[in-house]
Structure 1
């Protein structure tokens, strides 16, 4: 009987499908893509849902808030479960169980049922944490930032691809004779079934580590995952660096989600664009995840090689501060072309900041990567919730004031005043949020690593690069 001893991949060779690390990279990226696709899958159909179920404006906003809120708790929990049971089983069950509310969303008949489904659909947003944990376990220190950023960026594409994909699915089912008003229901059912299938694929075609699954390794006497979970988790919570990264991810991914969700209306109100034109600009913003987040991880790894772990932190602080400056600058832009340029620079920097964040995360606590990833990942959704609540409150108040001030002057005048008020309120909100991001960028400099940690990582990276030239050992 032969046992193959493999090691973490030191290169992101995307075509080497025989490598368990690369195979896992592809499967986890596709699974993440489908989770985000299903999570935001209802967004293109919201006008149909509002009409079909008779949702009030408050119920519509509450459904968005519930979807984000559910993800916060799921991300906190799933990281700890990954440390205990391994990412393979966690992802399998998340995909299979997460498919249930996605399918049920296509079957709802009342607003309450819809809100409940939106809450539980939000749980599949925890897929991000498992993706980062599994990638961290598969790739060596010299490339882990790039691998993490690429898998996350390509997975995030699902949140933008649904703008094209879900309407295409709806058009296909209509072609088979389904009533147009019911197309959104069938589309959600199909998305749920695909998530279920990906869960089955994940179980049979991945493993927890390059050496094998947690269960088999433990039976063989290997120490994997965490022991004494409660004590270890408390030590994780007591590490101030994790909470700084929590704020960093709230200021990067959280703000990206908020800006992505409010930019359509802002572009229309501020620059008088048609809805289709504004939507295409926002879609382009989302599609930059193809490369922008990878760049953040790549530069994090590069600065890590040049300046050690401190180098990773320095780059993270720089790119996050730049993100805040770009958002502040965009918020005061009154020219469309300048605004689009600044929006592109903001998009590039915010997604690079996300990638740079998870080029630091794997080095915070090697024994609890899942818990650390879960807490930091939850920060993104907390940031999105707070930023969205701020913008909604400012915009709603400004619009109501404009309506009252122009009462009796005609529908056209009222709409123009309402649009201008909303634009100004959101602009002020973006400005304030941008300043907060700059502040968090400065705070990120407080993340420190001991001299011992720096030396251990330096030695490990050197060994991993050297092992790249060594053949895989085969023992009898």
Structure 2
């Protein structure tokens, strides 16, 4: 454990846990994105319209925001071993539902439920944080996130070929069902192959489940305020699927139903505020020792950093192929297939850049690294706003991949810091930070529907600049964090 190097060819100790866990994340992303590369075949079989296709795509992310919060609470309470295994097993059910669907309504329900498996990312953050020391946690979390995230690309590469292998118009069903079967089988493999902590280590749990603990009254208000965008995004998604806001989608929700859903969302927010106050009230009524304090601003700033990093990645990956086609089709005869391949260059770099971002954070400091990456993505989006049909394709691809390096490395840098805030709440912190990534994706894509791609890139440039300023107020993790054992003794966990 003293070495800065990781022997990734080993399959014992913490390296085994890392490999088993990134594979669980990889499979969860294959399942979560198994519909995208097969959407044309699905649409042909079930005679889906363009609005119905777009509705299926947006339903895929609708549940992921609350799911990441819920999964964060569950992983802190029950441990990553049980939580990940259960999620993979349960996630296979809507996968099989989707594979056997005979109507748009059945597809929509299955896809909505499938969003829950997209929260699996949160679980591995806690698992990897338990098994790796602070000096290695950045690169370990980067490998976990970068390699696991490649599951979406792997689905795009392999599932169409698998569907062709099964043959016929129904080949997509067997292809998707296979991913569900793999998730189900791996849930058992994972359960019997890992443990929550190294032997002799304590798995620290929150005192109460349901909300994050804070250590000052001002942090309590800050925490409540940072929950508002999560619920606002759910309302935004509801509006998009309603009769009044769904110009590009099916009117899946009549206005009356949408109103009730909006009311339900904000009733849940009020209940969440009650839980936050109820859980924190006893602690805040008496002085808290400095040893046990942490600043919620650390979580809030990482929320914003992941919103621009992962949120912009989700948005750009979704729009880039069409942007390339519309920009260069007439001037440089680019085809839709070529545009798709070029657009994929933005996400492909994630495989290397995210671990690199974590490694640089371990080596040169987490605040400095995150600042550099966000500054780089801000500059990248600014330059991308000037792309037009006269630019050489090679230059555009080089610019796109350069920007992607900073974006993916920024994601790695964010989660190089998440496990170093408060150990017993790592799952909840990761859940909130991860949810903000989805918030960013939804908000940026909504903005894109109203503006030109050039303005879209400028908006993300401006948001990145604002987040860069916020990052300057984050504290570099150093020294130790304190956690209390069941017998009342205090354990000091090294942060640097």
Once the two structures are TM-superposed, the CA of residue 223 in structure 1 deviates from its matched residue by 6.2
For residues 289-320 of structure 1, what are the alpha-carbon distances to aligned partners after superposition, in whole Å with 9 as ceiling and x for unaligned? 2211011001110123xxxxxxx112202211
Partner residue, 1:438: 465
Q: 1:363 matched to which residue of 2?
A: 420
Conservation of the 8 A alpha-carbon contact between 2:64 and 2:115: yes
Query: What is the rounded CA distance, in whole Å, between the counterparts of 1:41 and 1:243 in structure 2?
Result: 32
Q: Do residues 55 (structure 1) and 48 (structure 2) align? A: yes
Residues 16, 22 of structure 1: 8 Å contact kept: yes
CA shift, 1:55, in A, is 2.5
The answer on whether the counterparts of 1:323 and 1:438 sit within 8 Å (CA) in structure 2 is no
Mapped to 2, the partners of 1:158 and 1:284 lie a distance apart of 15
How is 1:98-247 mapped onto 2 (pairs within 5 angstroms)? 98-174=91-167, 179=168, 181-211=169-199, 224-230=204-210, 232-233=212-213, 238=223, 239-247=296-304
Residues 401-427 of structure 1 deviation map (CA, whole Å, 9 limit, x = unaligned): xxxxxxxxxxxxxxxxxxxxxxxx122
Contact between 1:295 and 1:355, CA under 8 Å: does it hold in 2? yes
Once the two structures are superposed, the pairs formed by residues 250-329 of structure 1 within 5 Å of their partners are 250-272=307-329, 273-304=334-365, 312-329=366-383
Q: Tell me the residue number matched to 1:429.
A: 456
Q: Report SS of the residue matched to 2:7.
A: coil
Residues 49/134 of structure 1: CA separation in 2 closer, same or farther (3 Å cut)? same
User: Is contact 2:162-2:175 (8 Å) kept?
Assistant: yes
Q: CA deviation at 1:165?
A: 0.8
In structure 2, list runs of 5 or more residues that go unmatched: 224-295, 482-491
Shift in Å at residue 440 of structure 1? 1.2
Q: In 1, Cα distance between the equivalents of 2:33 and 2:131?
A: 28
Q: State the number of aligned residues.
A: 402
Match of 1:388 among 430, 442, 445: 445
Query: What TM-score do you get using the length of structure 1 for normalisation?
Result: 0.80
Measure, in 2, the Cα distance between the counterparts of 1:158 and 1:390: 27
1:15 and 2:9 aligned: yes
> Are the equivalent residues in 2 in contact too, given 1:69–1:381 (CA < 8 A)?
no
Distance 2:214 2:104 in 1: 40
1:217-262 residue CA offsets vs partner (Å, 9 max, x unmatched): 8xxxx56322233575455863122122111111011111111111
**Structure with the bigger percentage of helix:** 1
DSSP 3-state at the match of 1:227: coil
Q: What does residue 4 of structure 1 align with? A: none
Alpha-carbon spacing, 1:8–1:383, altered in 2? closer, same or farther (3 Å): farther
TM-score (normalizing by structure 2): 0.77
Relative to structure 1, the CA distance from residue 51 to residue 326 in structure 2 (aligned partners, 3 Å threshold; closer, same or farther) is same
Work out the CA distance in 2 between the residues paired with 1:28 and 1:134.
8
CA distance in structure 2 between the aligned counterparts of 1:9 and 1:64, rounded to whole angstroms: 44
TM-aligned CA deviation for residue 285 of structure 1:
2.6
Distance 2:493 2:449 in 1: 48
Task: Write the distance in 2 (CA, Å) between the matches of 1:154 and 1:267.
Answer: 26
Quote the residue 2:408 is aligned against.
351
Residue 263 of structure 1 and its aligned partner are, at CA, apart by 0.7
Q: Is the Cα contact below 8 Å between 1:322 and 1:438 reproduced in 2?
A: no
Report if the CA contact (8 A) 2:325-2:336 is conserved: yes
Given the alignment of the two structures, is residue 456 of structure 1 paired with residue 477 of structure 2, yes or no?
Answer: no
Distance 1:164 1:231, change over 3 A: closer
Partners of 2:99 and 2:133 lie apart in 1 by: 42
Structure 1 position 153, deviation (Å) = 0.1
Distance 1:393 1:111, change over 3 A: farther
Distance 2:178 2:203 in 1: 41
Contact 2:324–2:339 (Cα < 8 Å) also in 1? yes
Kindly provide the CA deviation profile for residues 364-406 of structure 1, in whole angstroms up to 9, marking residues without a partner as x.
Answer: 2222111111100111111111111111233xxxxxxxxxxxx
Report the CA distance between 1:461 and its aligned residue: 5.5
Tell whether 2:13 aligns with 1:33: no
Which whole-Å CA distance do the structure 2 matches of 1:322 and 1:189 have between them? 41
Cα drift, residue 114 of structure 1: 0.8
Distance 2:170 2:378 in 1: 42
Distance 1:370 1:295 in 2: 23
In the other structure, the counterpart of 1:77 is 70
What is the root-mean-square deviation of aligned Cα atoms in Å?
A: 2.1
Superposed displacement of residue 286, structure 1: 2.1
